[in-house]
Amino acid sequence: MNTTLRQVNVSTRPAYASWPVAQAETPRIDAVYAHMPFCTTKCHYCDFYSLAGHLDQADAYLDALEREAALQARQLPMPARPETIFIGGGTPTLLEPPHLERMLRAVTRWLDLSALREFTIEANPNTFSPERAEVLARAGVNRISFGAQSFVGAELAALQRDHDPQSVAPAMAMARAAGISNINLDLIFGIPGQTVDTWDYSLGQALELGTQHISCYSLMYEPNTKLTARKAAGDVVPMPEEDELRLFEHVYAKLRAAGFERYEVSNYARPGQECRHNLHYWTGGNWLALGPSAAAKVGAYKWKNVGSLAHYLEALAPADAVLPLTAVERLAPGHAAGELAMLWLRLASGMDYAAFEKKTGIAAKAVVEQALARYARMGLVDLLPERAVIREHAVVLSDTLLGDVLAAFTARDVAGQGHVVQPSKRD
């Protein structure tokens, strides 16, 4: 056991599964996701796998990332040729430029990049710099997603974000100066104390900065976050649902008037600027994953890397490296189709039956029409000959509708068709 691991006190070793997909059955890989776990502080609402501080472990993380990429490359019949790469976190651009350069190399050098069209990295405005922007541009990154969240200082403070609203414009200017002009801004609504006016102000600031893409997420009170603990202690009072709904509806009007289209429940883009990477997630693509807690989907299999840096480093220790795969699952065909239909129906363009069948081999029209017939009668859904579309005013009811779609697909499964791949202990 090395010093790094002693510091973080690894007491029990998880079991890891071997690569579940036979080379001959490996489908085309559309996308690659890589996870970088370090952040400056932990935002109170965050339930992503991220560690405040710990940058002293950047070298160990990068060593492990390189080994993981090499091990994955051996499992594939030929180098993966993704159309998109997305590096998320954590705050990937928190790494110092030499480390950032090394991470970008580790993520890309085992891939065939001849089909690459979109290469995104997440960044926080306060830790961005011209040097980092140059490193990204040199490595082929052509899209940056900044976590702006709000342009109102008090709202950022309520979320315990460690940047101020004034840092967003300079960070975007640095990206553009390096030649990266495709920029997304993440914004959050439903923050305690937020009003239609302050939300309108944040949306207006994002538009003024000339971004191509805006993601608007509602504030979630996830289990095991500080925000949820503060709520339980009475320190934070969540926004009433009807107020949150008003903010949600305000986005449409504001962004549409500015030339943006809602193409997914939470995502808005100028025409042609949709996030191609996320579209792969929502329309049945296959993607590989690198880094602690990163999730992959290849053919009928889904899996997740171990969600702990200490265990990730332990699994990929030089002498005895194994892939850090946990929670490997082969979904039954109906369940897999149902999960995909739920994602696909969140698109504003709806779910195209022919495209769905091409991806899954499953003719979905009859199943979807049966599941959504009563919602169509209520005027919430359009059941067109070639696709099903949830109408704009019914988007807020999506969870109920989509739950019925999932149930309709899973009802077709025969017991035992899906299974969990049993991991095995290393020692």
| Count of beta carbons in the 10 Å neighbourhood of residue 414 | 9
The three-class DSSP label of residue 47 is coil
**Residue 43 sits in the site that holds ligand SF4 (CB under 6 A):** yes
Sorted by sequence, the CB contacts under 8 Å of residue 10 that are 6+ apart come out as 1, 310, 311, 314
- Segment 114 to 133, residues that bind ligand SF4, using CB under 6 A: 124
With contacts defined by CB under 6 A, name the span among 62-70, 85-93, 208-216, 307-315 that binds ligand SF4: 85-93
Count of residues that bind ligand SF4 according to CB under 6 A: 11
Tell me the closest approach of the beta carbon of residue 27 to ligand SF4, in angstroms: 30
Query: Would you give the DSSP letter of residue 16?
Result: B
**Residue 380 sits in the site that holds ligand SF4 (CB under 6 A):** no
**Residue 46 sits in the site that holds ligand SF4 (CB under 6 A):** yes
* Spatial separation of the C-alpha atoms in residues 49 and 51, rounded to whole Å: 7
- Segment 125 to 184, residues that bind ligand SF4, using CB under 6 A: 147
Instruction: Give CA torsion, residues 22, 31, 404, 225, to 10 deg.
Output: 110
Sorted by sequence, the CB contacts under 8 Å of residue 379 that are 6+ apart come out as 391
**Residue 252 sits in the site that holds ligand SF4 (CB under 6 A):** no
Q: Which helix (H) or strand (E) element contains residue 315?
A: helix 309-315
**Residue 350 sits in the site that holds ligand SF4 (CB under 6 A):** no
**Residue 292 sits in the site that holds ligand SF4 (CB under 6 A):** no
Residue 46 or 380: which CB sits closer to ligand SF4? 46
**Residue 42 sits in the site that holds ligand SF4 (CB under 6 A):** yes
**Residue 90 sits in the site that holds ligand SF4 (CB under 6 A):** yes
**Residue 202 sits in the site that holds ligand SF4 (CB under 6 A):** no
E strands, 179-248, where?
Answer: 182-189, 213-218
The three-class DSSP label of residue 59 is helix
Tell me the closest approach of the beta carbon of residue 40 to ligand SF4, in angstroms: 8
**Residue 284 sits in the site that holds ligand SF4 (CB under 6 A):** no
Sorted by sequence, the CB contacts under 8 Å of residue 58 that are 6+ apart come out as 38, 95, 96, 99
The three-class DSSP label of residue 123 is strand
With contacts defined by CB under 6 A, name the span among 45-53, 58-66, 131-139, 377-385 that binds ligand SF4: 45-53
**Identified binder of ligand SF4 from the candidate list 21, 32, 39, 342, rule CB under 6 A:** 39
User: Shortest CA distance to 142 belongs to which of 159, 110, 117?
Assistant: 117
**Residue 91 sits in the site that holds ligand SF4 (CB under 6 A):** yes
Tell me the closest approach of the beta carbon of residue 147 to ligand SF4, in angstroms: 6
- Shortest Cβ contact with ligand SF4: which residue? 46
Instruction: Output phi, psi for 85, to 5 deg.
Output: -130, 140
* Spatial separation of the C-alpha atoms in residues 101 and 416, rounded to whole Å: 46
**Gyration radius of the chain's alpha carbons:** 22
Helix %, strand %, coil % of the chain (to 5): 45, 20, 35
Residue 90 or 284: which CB sits closer to ligand SF4? 90
- Opening angle at CA 365, ends 387 and 25, nearest 5: 100
Residue 37 or 324: which CB sits closer to ligand SF4? 37
With contacts defined by CB under 6 A, name the span among 41-49, 72-80, 196-204, 385-393 that binds ligand SF4: 41-49
**Residue 48 sits in the site that holds ligand SF4 (CB under 6 A):** yes
Residue 43 or 362: which CB sits closer to ligand SF4? 43
- Segment 182 to 201, residues that bind ligand SF4, using CB under 6 A: none
* Spatial separation of the C-alpha atoms in residues 260 and 214, rounded to whole Å: 9
Tell me the closest approach of the beta carbon of residue 127 to ligand SF4, in angstroms: 9
Taking a C-beta distance cutoff of 8 angstroms, is the pair 88, 37 a contact? no
* Spatial separation of the C-alpha atoms in residues 305 and 325, rounded to whole Å: 5
With contacts defined by CB under 6 A, name the span among 89-97, 219-227, 265-273, 358-366 that binds ligand SF4: 89-97
Residue 4 or 91: which CB sits closer to ligand SF4? 91
List residues near ligand SF4 by CB under 6 A.
39, 42-43, 46, 48, 50, 89-91, 124, 147
